[in-house]
Structure formats: structure tokens, C-alpha cells
Amino acid sequence: MEMPTLFIGQKLIYLKKTESTNSFAIQLIENNPEKVMDGMIISAEQQTAGKGQFNRKWISNPGENLTFSLILKPSFLRPEKLFYLNKCICVSITETINAFAMNSCIKWPNDIYVSDKKICGILIENKIKNQQIEFCVAGIGINVNQTVFPEDITATSLKIETGKNIPKDSVLQVFCSKFEKNYLKLKQDIKHFDNVYLQKLKGVNKWQQFRVKNLTASLLIKGVDELGHLITQDQNGNIQKWLSGELQWINEP
Amino acid sequence: MEMPTLFIGQKLIYLKKTESTNSFAIQLIENNPEKVMDGMIISAEQQTAGKGQFNRKWISNPGENLTFSLILKPSFLRPEKLFYLNKCICVSITETINAFAMNSCIKWPNDIYVSDKKICGILIENKIKNQQIEFCVAGIGINVNQTVFPEDITATSLKIETGKNIPKDSVLQVFCSKFEKNYLKLKQDIKHFDNVYLQKLKGVNKWQQFRVKNLTASLLIKGVDELGHLITQDQNGNIQKWLSGELQWINEP
């Protein structure tokens, strides 16, 4: 596959089947660090044990969707700024989805949505060695040609949204191109992503229902801070900061 | 080996020979996460490719010294507080060394010294998954019974300092006991370690010669901040903050 980039995806390992592309990438880095380049991609037709957030499984019909891991070595980034890499990746995915004529947004912290349905999930695993980022592995699953999803999942795909079969390679090419531009921007001007991310943030400046342990709370979404906490305001004007996992979205009916 | 602890070192894997106990631990976690407990230890008689800071090798005579990796899952700690785990480990090692009747201190960022000679090195590797610490692997090498070191290394050992052969198992037992106490303290009161660490910091409130790229600088050591930067003051009263790697110590003659 011809990749319209300088280094992102120029080295690509394609697997028919693997447990999880993130696990494959992490093992590769541990065993052969000298073979791993910034921007390398591990792509798989089928994951038998794909990983999602909070040790959930990532399930995807074999062959229908794009599932890959992007290996990065952002030596310019300090560990305390890691959430900016998440911002940069999320923004790049929305741009990729939008290139196929639709409007996507970022559902905090790590999902990409189109019209209230999930189209992409991201799992970023980082290795920090004595206060330095050694590598980041971003596992990305984009629903491309799958049209039937389990009943309990509110998901969509590029095919459902456009009505057309989309070659997975094209989606990967667009992503690599968008991400490369944004990654270079991140290196130059990290703060750029505060605003761009906020513009794409689902529900920003809107009241939203959340579940907090056994309670239901109505909270106004204000933004996301440097460390990735969601910033909200309640009806009394009090500001809260949340970790992912402390807060569950309750979807509008 | 009987371990005088509740959980630190209660699960111990002993290897005659391995490339690096840290690499062994990381592979174990990737392949069998369900088998890995908080406080588990991988110890090796001999490391064939021991890892130090900045991809330096850690060289130790086979059998003479204590080389092990401690696996931790500090789910109570936020990724931005990771340096506190480093503080907690460094403090525990000085307490361990001091239990054998000597006076040790912490040479920023990651070495333990006795009378201007290195007695222990630490390499901490962390895995962060979507803003959560998944695990930390602390590789620790304590010079126990080695008495001859390469000429270019200013090192010492428990045997050199005490004149006695010390059983390595005793050193590990003392460490596990000291660390368990401190790890539980860290969970309760993270700030406790600011002061304790500062008291053990080599050269604190003293002027010290450093090399900064090609320059030599005389700097007053003020402390270490939350993120692990060394805080110094120059002769004009200006405050600087340094990452490890930006600054090299020049030892007094």
C-alpha cells in the first residue's frame, strides 16, 4: 500500500490474525526495540482478543473493519503531557471520518461518535522509563464496512453512514496523512490541540446526564483539563473534575 | 525464603540466569496479567543484559549481588504522581542499606550512594493505559558481596563497607519489609515522602559542579519537584529546573 506520508505508516506490518495488535506491538518493542520506528503500524484482519478500555474486549467482525496499532516514540513530549497525544490522535480520527463526508465528534475520553453512535474506539498504552516516555502504542478500531452490530451496542460504520463499501486501505491512508500533519504540529505547538479538541468535544457547553456510582447527576460540560479530566459544572455553579471511570454517560433517549 | 511481609515479595520467582529481570517481568505481565500480583518479585542470580538508565547496561558479577525486579500495581496513584513511587523506593533502599550499619543517600535521580560511591541503581519502567497506571516494574541492583569493580566505576558494596559477607536473602528481606511499610504509607499520605526524600538527597543545600552540554556550572541544590526535576539556584539567584539527562554531576576530586 502506497502511504502518502513521510514516516507515519511507512513501516507497516500486516497480520491476518493476532490476539491484539497492541499486545503484538508491545512484545515487538520489548524483544526488538531497535526494529521499531516512530510511526510504525501493526494492522490485523482479525483480532482474537482485542482490547478495549477498562479491560473490556474490543469485538469487531473479521475483515470488515480497520483495526491497527500505531507505535510512537514522542521523545519531545514529557510524561505529564501524555494526554495531548490522546488529543492529537482523537482529532486526527475525527478528521479522517469527516473526510468520508460525515460529521464526527469526540466523546470523552476515548471514543469517536457520529450522530450519537460509536464509530471508533481508541486504547492508548504507554511505557514510561525513569520519567521519559519510551513509547506509546495507540490501538485504533474504526468501523468501516460492518453493518450489523450486537443489539446492546449503539454503533455505526462508514458504510452505514455513507451507504457505500469503503476500502479499508483508503481509511488508513487518510488517517496516516491527517495524523502525520497533526503529530508534527504537536511537536511545534502543543497548546494548539486544546482548542481543536474542545471544538470537537461531544456535548460541550451542554447539560448532560451522568451516572456517578448509584446517583444520577445533571452536569454542564465545560471542557477537559491538561491531565484529561472532564471538567463539569453543576446546577449550583460548583466545578467538578472527573477521571474516566468515575463517571458514566447516560444517553439521551 | 521466609518473607517478613504481608504481600511484598510473598510471591517470588527466582531465576538462575535471565537477560534482564525487568524484561522478564514485563513479558510476564503482557502474557499472563492474571498471574501477576502487586508486590511480586523476580530475582536473578545472573543478568546477561541488565538494563540501566538511558539504555546503559547494568553490569554485576554473577552471584555476588542482589538483582531483582519488584512488580507493583499502585492503582491508588495517578500517573502524574509517578515520581512519588520513585521517592518511596529510593527511601526504602536507603533504609535497607542503613540497616547494615552505614549511612546512605539518594543521588538524584536514581542512584543510592554510600560515602561518594554508588551502592545501588534503580530503573523504573511503568505502563500507563488510558490515563491509568497499569503496572510499575522497579529494577533494583544492590552491590552486596562484590569487592572488585571496573576501574572507571566509583562503586562500593555492603561487603566493602562492613568487611563482612552478607547473605543476599537478608538484604532482600530487609528491603521487602522496609518497602512494604513505606508503600502503605504512600497510599495514605503521599506528601510524607517530600520531606523524607529531601532529607536523604545527596548534596542538598550545597553547591555542586555540573556539566550542562559543554559548559560547567556551579549550582546550589534546592530540592526535587513533584515531577522529579532537580531544582537548583545559580550564583545570581536564578532558579532552574532540570530533567535527568540534561545535567551531569561532576564529582568532587
Asked whether the beta carbons of B25 and B53 are under 8 A apart, the reply is no
DSSP classification of residue B55: G
Range picked from A56-60, B16-20, B191-195 for highest mean pLDDT: B191-195
Calculate what percentage of chain A has a pLDDT beyond 70.
97
Q: Tell me the C-alpha to C-alpha distance, in Å, between residue A17 and each of A11, A14, A150, A201, B81.
A: 18, 9, 22, 34, 38
Chain A: nearest CA to B122, how far in angstroms? 9
Shortest CA distance from A32: residue in chain B: B23
Q: Note the pLDDT tens digit of each residue in B147-171.
A: 998 887 889 999 999 999 999 999 9
C-alpha grid cell, residue A170: 483508503
Chain A: nearest CA to B219, how far in angstroms? 22
Shortest CA distance from A134: residue in chain B: B125
Of B86, B110, B131, the CB nearest to A228: B131
B163 φ/ψ sector (left φ>0, alpha ψ -120 to 50, else beta): left
Secondary structure percentages of chain B, helix, strand, coil, to 5: 30, 35, 40
Whether residue B134 and residue A125 make contact (CB cut-off 8 A), yes or no, is yes
- Write out the residues of chain A at the interface with chain B, using a CB-CB cutoff of 8 A: 23, 26-27, 30, 53, 78-80, 82-83, 86, 109-110, 123-132, 134, 227-228, 243-245
Given pLDDT bands bounded at 50, 70 and 90, which one contains residue A59? confident
Question: What's the rounded Cα separation, in Å, for the pair A140 and A49?
Answer: 14
Question: Which ipTM score applies to this complex?
Answer: 0.76
pLDDT of residue B50: 77
Whether residue B82 and residue A82 make contact (CB cut-off 8 A), yes or no, is no
DSSP classification of residue A28: H
Question: What's the rounded Cα separation, in Å, for the pair B236 and B219?
Answer: 10
For residue B126, list chain A residues with Cβ-Cβ distance below 8 A: 127-129
pLDDT of residue B56: 67
Q: Map out the domains of chain B with their CATH numbers.
A: 12-200 (3.30.930.10), 207-249 (2.30.30)
For residue B109, list chain A residues with Cβ-Cβ distance below 8 A: 130-131
Shortest CA distance from A23: residue in chain B: B30
Alpha helix ranges (H) inside chain A? 21-31, 82-98, 158-162, 168-188, 192-200
pLDDT of residue B251: 73
What's the mean per-residue pLDDT of chain B? 92
The owner of cell 518493542 is: A29
Residue A121 has pLDDT above 80, yes or no: yes
The owner of cell 511507512 is: A10
Question: What's the rounded Cα separation, in Å, for the pair B21 and B48?
Answer: 10
Instruction: List the beta bridge partners of residue B126.
Output: A128, B136
pLDDT of residue A55: 62
CB burial class (10 A; 0-12, 13-18, 19+) of residue A88? buried
Shortest CA distance from A28: residue in chain B: B27
- A51: enclosing H helix or E strand: none
Chain B: nearest CA to A165, how far in angstroms? 32
